[in-house]
Amino acid sequence: MSVDLVEKPSPSTTTPSSQAAALTVKPLTPILGAEVGGIDLRQELDAQTAARVREALLAHKVLVFRDQPLTDDEQIRFSRIFGKVTPAHPITNGLPDQPAIMQNVKSVMTSRVNELDAIARQQLRANSKGRRLRGWHTDITFVANPTSVTILRGLEIPDGAGDTAWVDLEALYAALSPAFQQLVDGLTAVHGRDDARIGYTPLPRDDGRTTGPFLSEHALVRIHPETGRKSLFVNPVFLKYIPDLTDAEGAALLDYLFEEQAGRIDLQVRVQWRTNDIVVWDNRNTSHWGPLDEIHFAAERIVRRTTVDPEYTTGPTGFRSRQIVGEPFYTLD
């Protein structure tokens, strides 16, 4: 899907730098995703090349850079072309010497032990709303100002496994009928996270901030601040309920939207990782699931993530996201 960029200067008005002239952008699907080549991210990008990378992100939403063996410092420097760098995560600590970098290790994540006893787990299940969530999510929507752009580096990737998929939430909104668009344009939704309640109490944060619980309220449709385009703001992992609807009405609506998000494979792109790949995505108009094949492989998978520019979202009615419980996110820069 093509995107009309807002007030972007035409690259043809200036002579391209040697870096910018070497840059290539190859779409991965007609709707979503592109592979970017011709540049070495170990080198600092000049202003013109950085601007073209940002324009490519607005146009394609997911960018894949192959064979980029960056250091942690180089990943942080590259991240800054998209905005101000945040801590690793509102709940999870970053690396001891790099608080901006969150490391996900498959063997660590899958070996976590739930603190609840058998009876408490049964009570939790009995009092929870069961939905087929799969793994689709937009990052940290339990805060009022989720990060704008995510940069993920494949430090250790198993052969032929560890894939991530993305879905275009702008295209998903555009696929709705005008009557349905009018309905969702006027709704908000509450997002939340409370790891301790489900038996996984987080470690204390190094900066002393809260690890939860978190609740925030967002518009169900958000407007992209740079392109002005509308996208569905649906997140099966963190979205809990729609305040203006009854529980039954809200559940029916969300179940439909979640199933559309998962089932519209024509609006998705699936990326097969290789070690030293970098993938950048726009967290404002996409949802992702990765590694989506996690249960099918036993090999180790290690990725390192940086994020930038926490941003309060705005909906078609002018509703601005608000924090209900917990703290908004912040930047290190």
Domain locations in the chain as residue ranges: 11-325
Whether 127 has a pLDDT exceeding 90, the answer reads no
Give the model's pLDDT for residue 244.
97
Which position has the higher pLDDT, 209 or 114? 209
Q: What is residue 2's predicted lDDT score, i.e. its pLDDT?
A: 42
Q: Name the nearest CA neighbour of 59 among 31, 80, 81, 24.
A: 31
pLDDT at position 9 = 44
Q: Which fold does the domain 11-325 belong to in CATH?
A: Double-stranded beta-helix (3.60.130)
Mean pLDDT, range 212-241, rounded to an integer: 96
| The pLDDT of residue 1 is above 60 | no
Cβ neighbours, 10 Å, residue 70: 20
The least confident of 121-135, 192-206, 315-329 is 121-135
CA dist 44 and 223 (Å) reads 31
| pLDDT over threshold 70, residue 8 | no
For residue 34 the two structure tokens come to 């592109």
CA 266 – CA 32 distance, rounded (Å) = 9
Q: What is the reported pLDDT for 12? A: 46
Instruction: Specify the pLDDT at position 329.
Output: 96
Q: Which of 12-21, 39-48, 66-75, 78-87 is predicted with the least confidence, judged by mean pLDDT?
A: 12-21
Residue from 79, 76, 75, 67 nearest 38 by CA = 67
pLDDT at 10 over 50: no
- pLDDT higher than 80, residue 58: yes
Residues 72-112: tens digit of each pLDDT: 999 999 999 999 999 999 999 999 999 999 998 988 877 77
Taking the C-alpha atoms of residue 151 and residue 308, their distance in angstroms, rounded to an integer, is: 9
Residue 52's φ and ψ, nearest 5 degrees, are -70, -35
Q: What is the pLDDT of residue 131?
A: 58
- DSSP structural state of residue 127: T
Residues 53-63 have a mean pLDDT of 98
Whether the model clears a pTM of 0.75, i.e. scores above it, the answer is yes
pLDDT at res. 76: 98
Share of the chain above pLDDT 70, in %: 93
Cβ–Cβ under 8 Å, residues 133 and 237:
yes
Beta strands in the chain (DSSP E): 24-27, 34-37, 62-65, 102-105, 147-156, 164-168, 188-193, 214-219, 221-223, 230-232, 239-241, 268-271, 278-282, 286-289, 302-310, 322-325
139-192 pLDDT tens trace:
999 999 999 999 999 999 999 999 999 999 999 999 999 999 999 999 999 999
234-261 pLDDT, tens digit per residue, is 999 999 999 999 999 999 999 999 999 9
